[in-house]
A and B are shown apart, each in its own frame.
Chain A
Amino acid sequence: MSTQAQANPSGADLAISDEVMIGLTGVNKWYGQFHVLKDIDLTVLKGERIVICGPSGSGKSTLIRCINRLEEHQRGRIVVDGIELTHDLKNIEKVRREVGMVFQHFNLFPHLTVLDNLTLAPIWVKKVPKKEAEEVAMHYLKRVKIPEQAGKFPGQLSGGQQQRVAIARSLCMSPKVMLFDEPTSALDPEMIKEVLDVMIELARSGMTMICVTHEMGFARTVANRVIFMDKGEIIEQNEPEEFFNNPKSDRTKLFLSQILHH
């Protein structure tokens, strides 16, 4: 069910600058007494495409949700594009403006049409005139190949279409980073490819991306780094070839064997 690696240049050939986009140092987080993230250190350079995998409950979602402050971390530092995430609301707003996020369950706004979903944030946050926002929205709808659905409501679309709208909605804010939290795991198999294709295309355009996903084909095709998490820790990270062919830790091996022959 995963997309086959195509005959295109693999992720490693895409340009990565040495500018730091996201920096996490010693990040710790607890839910009540439960230690979810333990001493996470992670540096993401501009243009990097990172895939995070790991067993369910290992803290992958929590990690990327900390990056746009949907969750608060309790110890350590998170710096996004030079802005540190603290209790300062202004900084949080700035970071959220630059970071787009795509959820497992799409979270489109059911009371707005597809077009209104796409223009809501540009109009209110970026203060773009409506007409311009709509032009931008149509541009991205074309990019995700569903311009004809602009007038419909989310409830009238298929899962794959909804997820593509959600991606377009984030892109309308011209983010510098895109976060994906298992964007295909709520989809029927035949719809996964259409969403992955959009994501691959996005990666080729040079977007900095962090994707939580178990689509290993996708990881091989576009990622320049694969991170394995377990029990709140980063256990191992490496280039995709190395990661898949020559995993170092036993836990990674076990995990890979489980998801590759399920």
Chain B
Amino acid sequence: MTDMTDQSIVPGTRPDLPPPVTESGVIGWLRHNLFSSWWDSLLTLSAIYIVYLIVPPFISWAFVNADWQFLPSVISGEKAPEFSDCTSGGACWIFVRARFGQFFYGFYPDAERWRVNLVLVMLVASIYGLLSERIKNKKPIAWFFFAVFPLLAFFLLYGGIGLPVVPTQQWGGFMLTLTLAGIGIVFSLPIGILLALGRRSQLPIVHLLCVLFIEFARGVPLITILFMANVMLPLFLPQGVEFNILLRVLIGVTLFASAYMAEVIRGGLQALPKGQYEGAMAMGLGYWAMMRLIIMPQALRVAIPGIVNNFISLTQDTTLVAIVGLYDFLNIVRAGSRDSNWIGTEIEGYVFCAFVYWIFCFAMSRYSMRIERKLQTGHKR
């Protein structure tokens, strides 16, 4: 029993060998991931067949056989572009090119579109500033974003004080989609915070009211809230006060979004350990000071992924405003392909529209996942 060690090889000197060929490299990968059993191989082959049925035809439709270029006669201004310019049998992207401006700016006058661009640049810059890790002092940016920017953006988009007024009936396209979702999120944040605090409050009536509101807004479809804002709200306004359709929709969207926001923030509040509250109270802070200085900053940080997800859903949900006749991105693309010059471009319109929504929402959902992962590793309890 004493000497069981193999003397032929000195222990501890065996080299690292590469795995057998069937285990490594391309063959090993294929064997493990695609052909590990006959059933697996069957699945793989059927999947390849399905991909083969879908992908090549789509690529040939969307790229190989597609029409991209305007006719020379269109470029020289002799005639307007139309569906019959597309002759290759694939996708008619000329339609999208011809309508591109309208899809993004709606009926906003050409000469004033720089205003929309400027707002967009400011928006992107300040969001980048708020979220980037390289910029440490976020206070001025936050002030700008939450206090100055909304007013500035309204002034730029709507006009007044020297700028020609662009009535909201002319807003449309992707710009309107972003406006609706953006305003919905920005305004629902404070309301959502109050609702979340109310729902966690010890005061029974406040708690009850908040629960009722939140559950009501989450229990009915957004479209019914838009319907309510559209047909019922005007009846309850004082004589002589008229809210235009965009404002009514915005009120509906904001109330709807605040209920979902409240739940996300409540999740953030619940994730905080009780010690944070006790610590803050032990320091002698009052309720509002405690919330503002200690609790909310942490809860909101935890809630960021949820807030981004809400923004994604809201962006998608804004397509419903078509029900009250607003021309958001989807609706304006649909209207475009119903134009008599462009009958037959419905699929192109939907595919383009889907592509833009997809890029936008997918990028945001990846971002939200990244933050979530970071929070999980940095915040272990």
Q: Do A and B have CB atoms closer than 8 angstroms in the complex? A: yes
Chain A residues proximal to chain B, CB less than 8 Å: 28, 30, 32-35, 38-39, 41, 43, 74-75, 224-225, 230-239, 242, 249, 251
Question: Which of B1, B9, B20 has the largest count of A CB atoms less than 10 A from its CB?
Answer: B1
A-contacting 9-mer, from B10-18, B153-161, B253-261, B290-298: B10-18
Report the Cα distance A232→B12, complex, angstroms.
Answer: 9
Residue in A38, A43, A237 whose CB lies within 8 Å of B14: A38
The answer, yes or no, to whether B24 is at the interface (CB within 8 Å) is: yes
Whether A242 and B2, one on each chain, are in contact in the complex, defined by CB atoms closer than 8 angstroms, is yes
Residue in B6, B17, B23 whose CB lies within 8 Å of A41: B6
Number of A-B contacts (CB under 8 A): 48
Whether A32 and B24, one on each chain, are in contact in the complex, defined by CB atoms closer than 8 angstroms, is yes
Residue in B1, B2, B20 whose CB lies within 8 Å of A75: B20
Interface size, chain B (Cβ < 8 Å): 16
Give the secondary structure class of B's interface: loop
| B19 to A: closest C-beta gap in Å | 4
Whether A251 and B23, one on each chain, are in contact in the complex, defined by CB atoms closer than 8 angstroms, is no
Whether B12 and A35, one on each chain, are in contact in the complex, defined by CB atoms closer than 8 angstroms, is no
Report the Cα distance A234→B10, complex, angstroms.
Answer: 11
Question: Which of B2, B4, B17, B18 has the largest count of A CB atoms less than 10 A from its CB?
Answer: B4
Whether A74 and B4, one on each chain, are in contact in the complex, defined by CB atoms closer than 8 angstroms, is no
Instruction: List residues 6-50 of chain B with CB under 8 A from any CB of chain A.
Output: 6, 9, 11-12, 14, 16-20, 23-24
List residues of chain A with CB within 8 A of the CB of B16.
Answer: 34-35, 38
List residues of chain B with CB within 8 A of the CB of A35.
Answer: 16-19
Residue in B2, B5, B14 whose CB lies within 8 Å of A39: B14
List residues of chain A with CB within 8 A of the CB of B23.
Answer: 30, 74
Report the Cα distance A206→B149, complex, angstroms.
Answer: 79
Whether B11 and A236, one on each chain, are in contact in the complex, defined by CB atoms closer than 8 angstroms, is yes
Give the secondary structure class of A's interface: strand
Chain B residues proximal to chain A, CB less than 8 Å: 1-2, 4-6, 9, 11-12, 14, 16-20, 23-24
Report the Cα distance A41→B20, complex, angstroms.
Answer: 19
Whether A231 and B19, one on each chain, are in contact in the complex, defined by CB atoms closer than 8 angstroms, is no
The chain B residue with its CB closest to the CB of A34 is B16
Whether A238 and B24, one on each chain, are in contact in the complex, defined by CB atoms closer than 8 angstroms, is no
Residue in B2, B14, B18 whose CB lies within 8 Å of A239: B2
List residues of chain A with CB within 8 A of the CB of B14.
Answer: 38-39, 232-233
Whether A74 and B12, one on each chain, are in contact in the complex, defined by CB atoms closer than 8 angstroms, is no
Whether B11 and A234, one on each chain, are in contact in the complex, defined by CB atoms closer than 8 angstroms, is yes
Report the Cα distance A95→B251, complex, angstroms.
Answer: 67
Report the Cα distance A224→B11, complex, angstroms.
Answer: 21
The chain A residue with its CB closest to the CB of B32 is A32
Report the Cα distance A38→B1, complex, angstroms.
Answer: 23
List residues of chain B with CB within 8 A of the CB of A231.
Answer: 12
Report the Cα distance A242→B2, complex, angstroms.
Answer: 9
The chain B residue with its CB closest to the CB of A75 is B20
List residues of chain B with CB within 8 A of the CB of A230.
Answer: 12
List residues of chain B with CB within 8 A of the CB of A30.
Answer: 19, 23-24
| A53 to B: closest C-beta gap in Å | 15
Whether B6 and A74, one on each chain, are in contact in the complex, defined by CB atoms closer than 8 angstroms, is no
Whether B19 and A237, one on each chain, are in contact in the complex, defined by CB atoms closer than 8 angstroms, is no
Report the Cα distance A242→B19, complex, angstroms.
Answer: 36
List residues of chain A with CB within 8 A of the CB of B2.
Answer: 238-239, 242
Q: A30-B24, A74-B19, A231-B12 are in contact. Are A237 and B4 (CB under 8 A)?
A: yes
| B100 to A: closest C-beta gap in Å | 48
| 13 pairs, CB–CB < 8 Å, chain A vs chain B | A30-B19, A30-B23, A32-B19, A35-B16, A35-B17, A39-B9, A39-B14, A41-B6, A74-B23, A75-B20, A225-B4, A233-B11, A235-B12
List residues of chain B with CB within 8 A of the CB of A41.
Answer: 6
Whether A74 and B5, one on each chain, are in contact in the complex, defined by CB atoms closer than 8 angstroms, is no
15 new A-B pairs (CB below 8 Å) besides A35-B19, A237-B5? A33-B19, A34-B16, A35-B17, A35-B18, A38-B14, A38-B16, A38-B17, A39-B9, A43-B4, A74-B20, A224-B1, A225-B1, A225-B4, A230-B12, A251-B12
